[in-house]
Structure 1
């Protein structure tokens, strides 16, 4: 669970009105105090710091020195002290890495612009004329000393020329610099724009190839380093960035938008469709979930100030697969819209002077809602948005299905209810969200799963209430089950834990029936191997989609069978394998 921090706006330690590394260090106990037994901290286990390298701008996305900290935030030693304090609490730290462009004030660019014969000239892209426009017809070629240089965002951020081997070597060196000082990975800004090919400015094969080199460079220093990319595109365009050892994950912008639009519509249809697409598209669940970030209007405003919807949005994305990211202040209902500075206002700590952010004058005016929407006030209110976030994050940490489980749709009898299951080994967590305006008591059905047959105790985790029992058949399915809970109120959510109570198909001879599928994920042929205890009679394998629709059936003799998935669509499948009376359901991921 990551928390996105804009250091300038988080906490000011010296009264100059700007947040800094020392202030961030002082507030680490709010984020995670390092003691799993306490419940006063937020419980996040990762931080993403927006740009913290030297830059002339407030935001830091135009870097002037890739091996220096931003002076407003503190010196390198203060950053390293922050890193050590975070690691001592079990918090990993990734930082923004701007690979696409530098500042126009960077010495590299200053030398490149000084003369066409400069040894740095080819570190950027130059033209004697204006070759064309950029995305949306925008200006991307900017005049300088009789020539034009390429900068997709604005003239102050000239794009780096990744076709130049010296530039590439310098950037890989900078990447290794921070990893060797203990940084745990990177968020890659504007990743889809790295290498242009002719008039194709984004998502080029050369960009994808470059990221494979980047992966190797990073993992050589720290094999466990985590990389997440900002490829702000539709889902289909994002997926290639996490394939072939490129990035570990990418932000799922379409999913974030579908959560917000479905909540505002009071109808789960858009979110249900996007979840289905996401699950079919990412073979290894390699996506990052979030609601909004520093480039978008803050989510409380997008949801019309409705705190019930805010709580429901949190419950949705924190119970879904993927790596969740929380934008600072979202947990207390900060507002922000319009120019970027107003989406990145100072953190609201208290109802006191300057919201407890600084003893001086804040670098940007505070939100007017800080008197009610702040950490201190909400910590004291058990029903607050902040305490709701704390509870959800603790539940995600405590229950493996919420961190590791694969996703299955759960059918709900009420049209306004969205249901899905996260399944890991012999446990499951079901989320049921009522997006409508009236209370519902839905019956729930799960068409097929890898859960063993048997009776399961059901507990609603948010309230701690017992919700009855449910019996799963040999296919790990149940139909028209109703929780023994009061009606599910409008914009409220159940998080239901299923724990085995009375297994019926995991003892005796049936327990030994555990077929193997390999390779998994598969690109072409899959070998199905039955255990030695399998009955000598004819065997059968049935292939289902995640909605329980039968796609194909094959019968075979003996313990071995080969499936050719070459014509199957990418996605996740459930295979019901039967040998005599023994039945097992296995999950197979197909990724060509």
Structure 2
């Protein structure tokens, strides 16, 4: 065994959680503040032995998702596609055959709903695959009935744009205009040539998309959609058209399913993100992810708390009804443990911060067992380790793992038996969050006192409950004063000792106090 594994198996004395004397029953706060578990089916659980994860494999593990405490699952793309990641769809009304059948998916939905687990699927409508029948027809000529389903331009009209592309946070490809082979007419594909952008100036395209949404909501029964590349429905110089489209999309979907859940990927700063809220009531908070890493890696305690307060107040000025989808990682970023220098104490504190902050947290599969991964993307999406390799019937084999191996990551079955494991740490935090309304749906107020730089301090408040949260993000022990009346400890991570109005906090330690 590698040293990292031995450390984990030995347990972390600093990671003991102290439960309150009377523990309330957990409440499902989804979608406003519940926990959503992101699954890449390809890597999750293989039920038929072909080496590829599948929907029946997920169904087998629904009790695990429930045990972890998650309230919903977001599936990365499950529709037919020529790529392993499936973000280039060839059929919007079907299941990729590697993953199973539509009947398998409907059975998964039924079983998930029995367990009060909601199901959200990735909807990729900014672009299709270049192998989609619409595009196959579109490229046949200017007179084809599907020509205007995509964005085409004659070469001489875009000569200055063919080699130009503004690099964005969510794409570093160098071309946006692509030659289908005739050298005259070019088509627009923001990401890559294999993903041609759909033309939303065409009313027929919009109606196609609304019918697809209706199919999944009404005929299949999903609970909502994660909308990929929501910022790029129209080019970046047409943001008002983007905002208007998503308002229209929301109205169409709510007419079908009034409580439909819509979460958008708008990869940008808050000023760009916020105007999408009237159309997409939930938006991923990428600032949270990056500022969390900055806070932990620079030992700057209040930088995240201040940023989060600033974002929430800014969003409130746009609309009072929004869902802040917070993340500590996802399928596009290096694994969180890698980002934190493989420091187990920082890693545990990162999740303690995520799950004691306001918002509706997303948890990327495998984070709860400390999976590892760096770019390229395939290695951020490696197989989940259910059991030791000799016994792991469900482990997928579509890719040879580079980072998350038996030598570096302790499988779930072993972690379940260790009270100080990553898994039990995450499980305990989620339970605590779901059992304390202030942590789930309470407001965020920053502590007024000027604490040392490494301290993050804030209050979570409801009308009937108030929790004071302290995190020491530094390496050195710190002793700080506690606001008057907060003396009842409900949670502790690491070395955190309360006595006579003061708290002594060791390296990457946290404490939660009530009155």
Asked whether the two chains share a fold, i.e. TM above 0.5, the reply is: yes
Which of these two proteins has the greater Rg computed from alpha carbons? 1
CA contact (8 A) 1:125 1:159 kept: yes
Instruction: Please tell me whether residue 140 in structure 1 is matched to residue 176 in structure 2.
Output: yes
What is the count of residue pairs matched by the alignment? 462
Q: Partners in 1 of 2:394 and 2:237 — Cα distance?
A: 39
The match for 2:261 among 219, 226, 242 is 226
CA contact (8 A) 1:55 1:63 kept: yes
Tell me which protein shows more strand as a share of its residues: 1
Q: Partners in 2 of 1:186 and 1:6 — Cα distance?
A: 15
Secondary structure of 1:99's aligned partner = coil
Q: How far off is 1:349 after superposition?
A: 1.1
Question: What residue is the counterpart of 1:12 in the other structure?
Answer: 46
Q: Partners in 1 of 2:81 and 2:455 — Cα distance?
A: 48
Question: What residue is the counterpart of 1:492 in the other structure?
Answer: 509
Instruction: Please tell me whether residue 299 in structure 1 is matched to residue 336 in structure 2.
Output: yes
User: With structure 1 as the length reference, what TM-score do the two structures score?
Assistant: 0.75
1:36-81 Cα shifts (integer Å, max 9, x gaps): xxxxx20100100000111111101000011111111001000000
Question: What residue is the counterpart of 1:190 in the other structure?
Answer: 229
Q: Partners in 2 of 1:384 and 1:202 — Cα distance?
A: 48
CA contact (8 A) 2:492 2:509 kept: no
Q: How far off is 1:496 after superposition?
A: 2.1
User: With structure 2 as the length reference, what TM-score do the two structures score?
Assistant: 0.85
Question: What residue is the counterpart of 1:22 in the other structure?
Answer: 56
Question: What residue is the counterpart of 1:449 in the other structure?
Answer: none
Tell me which protein shows more helix as a share of its residues: 2
- Structure 1 spans left out of the alignment, 5+ residues: 33-40, 447-454, 470-480, 499-592
- Change in Cα spacing, 1:467 to 1:399, as seen in structure 2 (3 Å) is farther
Q: How far off is 1:364 after superposition?
A: 4.1
CA contact (8 A) 2:305 2:458 kept: no
Answer with 168-177 or 133-142: which moved more. Answer: 133-142
- Change in Cα spacing, 1:380 to 1:366, as seen in structure 2 (3 Å) is farther
Q: Partners in 2 of 1:295 and 1:56 — Cα distance?
A: 19
Q: How far off is 1:250 after superposition?
A: 0.7
Instruction: Please tell me whether residue 215 in structure 1 is matched to residue 250 in structure 2.
Output: yes
Q: How far off is 1:356 after superposition?
A: 4.7
* Residues 473-552 of structure 1 aligned to structure 2 (within 5 Å): 482-483=501-502, 487-498=504-515
CA contact (8 A) 1:354 1:362 kept: no
CA contact (8 A) 2:264 2:282 kept: yes
- Change in Cα spacing, 1:203 to 1:16, as seen in structure 2 (3 Å) is farther
Instruction: Please tell me whether residue 391 in structure 1 is matched to residue 428 in structure 2.
Output: yes
Secondary structure of 2:178's aligned partner = strand
Q: Partners in 2 of 1:281 and 1:99 — Cα distance?
A: 28
CA contact (8 A) 1:410 1:444 kept: no
- Change in Cα spacing, 1:298 to 1:464, as seen in structure 2 (3 Å) is closer
Question: What residue is the counterpart of 2:488 in the other structure?
Answer: 458
Answer with 403-412 or 57-66: which moved more. Answer: 403-412
1:290-333 Cα shifts (integer Å, max 9, x gaps): 11110111110000001111110001011111110000001111
CA contact (8 A) 1:411 1:444 kept: no
- Change in Cα spacing, 1:60 to 1:160, as seen in structure 2 (3 Å) is same
CA contact (8 A) 2:306 2:446 kept: no
* Residues 119-198 of structure 1 aligned to structure 2 (within 5 Å): 119-129=145-155, 130-131=158-159, 132=161, 133-136=164-167, 138-144=174-180, 145=182, 146-180=184-218, 181-196=220-235
- Change in Cα spacing, 1:364 to 1:182, as seen in structure 2 (3 Å) is farther
Higher relative contact order (CA 8 A, sep 6+): 2
1:159-213 Cα shifts (integer Å, max 9, x gaps): 00001011110011001111112100011101000012xxxx2661000000001
* Residues 270-419 of structure 1 aligned to structure 2 (within 5 Å): 270-283=303-316, 284=320, 286-353=323-390, 356-358=393-395, 361-365=397-401, 367-371=403-407, 372-412=409-449, 413-419=451-457
The match for 1:103 among 109, 126, 129 is 129
Q: How far off is 1:269 after superposition?
A: 4.0
1:233-285 Cα shifts (integer Å, max 9, x gaps): 0122111111x3x1121111111111111101112243233123213212145
Question: What residue is the counterpart of 1:206 in the other structure?
Answer: 241
Q: How far off is 1:462 after superposition?
A: 4.1
CA contact (8 A) 1:95 1:183 kept: yes
1:509-561 Cα shifts (integer Å, max 9, x gaps): xxxxxxxxxxxxxxxxxxxxxxxxxxxxxxxxxxxxxxxxxxxxxxxxxxxxx
CA contact (8 A) 1:12 1:357 kept: yes
Question: What residue is the counterpart of 1:70 in the other structure?
Answer: 96
CA contact (8 A) 2:493 2:509 kept: no
Q: How far off is 1:373 after superposition?
A: 2.4
Question: What residue is the counterpart of 2:18 in the other structure?
Answer: none
Q: CA RMSD in A?
A: 2.2
- Structure 2 spans left out of the alignment, 5+ residues: 1-34, 168-172
Secondary structure of 1:282's aligned partner = helix
